[in-house]
Amino acid sequence: MRPFKAKLLSTALCGALGGGVFAATAFAEEAAKAEFVGASVCANCHGEQVDGFKNAKHGIALPKFKGLEFEKSCETCHGAGSLHVEAGGDKTLPAFATVSNPKKLSGRDGSATCLKCHADAGRSHWDGGAHDRANVSCAACHSVHKAQAKHGELVKKTEAETCYQCHRDIKSQMRRSAHMPVEEGKMACSSCHDVHGGPTPKQLKAASVNQLCYSCHQDKRGPFVWEHAPVRENCLNCHSPHGSHHDKMLVGKQPFLCQRCHAYTRHPGTLYDATNVKNQRSQIFAQSCYECHSNIHGSNHPAGKALAR
């Protein structure tokens, strides 16, 4: 590009950006002139939202714990509404947009409204966390006016369904198991993950995958005289935590799972494949390798080197 044209383009761009900044500043200054009108005025147009808020957790908690009377509740989060009211519902007028709607803001800006009150230890890792980086706002999961679940004021009836809005691949995995505890309501996503952020990979509620699994499966913790190396390393080497088509949520069917490490070693020295399945070899049926090596997670028996005792 020629220097003259580049300079002309740069000047035009700066002018456009400068105009945008000026307009935003002027809008902010105008919005700052708005005055509080009270929740009863908001109810004239937003009656359904106001009625829902009265019976919701926030409607009960704000007067009780914050000493905030109901009339001030709407504008505490949405901002002073006098200019919005004067716009009379005309969305073409700049004054109409002088109240904020967290649902329509970017994830970080929308969450900033909630974090004014909810900046406790449970959300100390929200900034920079996985959901924050993905531009997910609090309003994507929680509803102040129309919560479908009372616990956590979620936008869906269950915590899992709320998470499935984005994590659809996990939803399909959950449906693979006939007795998945999450699907049966015995566990929730937050049983393992800190949904508001954390310092661990995948926002786990423990320092490692194994430590998290041991919080329920304590019999697998050890220490063992004879340890099974893949077990000690990571439970996910063999198990799929979100569901599997295989028994015990294994990542593969036995004996094929075991053959990923134990190929052509010791007995019987046969790599089982489709041919063996057609021939109905005994090692393919029942518990396969587990039939003999039952202490697969580790053994404390003096003769348990092969994890058979």
Q: What is the pLDDT of residue 286?
A: 65
| 3-state class (DSSP) for residue 80 | coil
Q: What is the pLDDT of residue 65?
A: 86
Q: What is the pLDDT of residue 269?
A: 66
Cα distance between residue 75 and residue 69, in whole Å? 11
Cα distance between residue 70 and residue 39, in whole Å? 7
Residue 195 has pLDDT above 70, yes or no: yes
Q: Residue 101: count other Cβ atoms within 10 Å of its Cβ.
A: 13
Report the alpha-carbon angle 217-221-222, nearest 5: 145
How many CA atoms lie within 13 Å of 24's alpha carbon, on the beta-carbon side?
6
Residue pair 200/209 in contact (Cβ under 8 Å)? The answer is no
User: Would you place residue 14 in the very low, low, confident or very high pLDDT band (cuts 50, 70, 90)?
Assistant: very low
Q: What is the pLDDT of residues 140-159, one digit of tens each?
A: 999 998 888 878 899 999 99
> Pick the residue with more confidence: 114 or 275?
114
Q: Residue 225: count other Cβ atoms within 10 Å of its Cβ.
A: 12
Q: What is the pLDDT of residue 143?
A: 92
User: Would you place residue 23 in the very low, low, confident or very high pLDDT band (cuts 50, 70, 90)?
Assistant: very low
Q: CA dihedral defined by 141, 144, 148, 152, rounded to 10 degrees?
A: 60
Residue 283 has pLDDT above 70, yes or no: no
DSSP 8-class letter at 286 = T
Cα distance between residue 53 and residue 45, in whole Å? 14
Report the alpha-carbon angle 154-158-159, nearest 5: 70
> Pick the residue with more confidence: 257 or 31?
257
Residue pair 284/274 in contact (Cβ under 8 Å)? The answer is no
Q: What is the pLDDT of residue 256?
A: 83
**% of the chain at pLDDT higher than 70:** 83
Residue 236 has pLDDT above 80, yes or no: yes
Quick one: which of 72, 84, 68, 77 has its CA closest to 34? 84
Cα distance between residue 131 and residue 185, in whole Å? 24
> Pick the residue with more confidence: 141 or 23?
141
> Pick the residue with more confidence: 271 or 222?
222
Q: What is the pLDDT of residues 25-60, one digit of tens each?
A: 555 666 678 899 999 999 999 999 999 898 888 988
Residue 67 has pLDDT above 90, yes or no: no
The pLDDT of 67-93, averaged and rounded, is 92
How many CA atoms lie within 13 Å of 4's alpha carbon, on the beta-carbon side?
0
Residue 282 has pLDDT above 50, yes or no: yes
User: Would you place residue 15 in the very low, low, confident or very high pLDDT band (cuts 50, 70, 90)?
Assistant: very low
Q: Residue 234: count other Cβ atoms within 10 Å of its Cβ.
A: 13
Residue pair 242/168 in contact (Cβ under 8 Å)? The answer is no
Secondary structure string (H, E, C) spanning 190-205:
HHCECCCCCCCHHHEC
Q: What is the pLDDT of residue 20?
A: 45
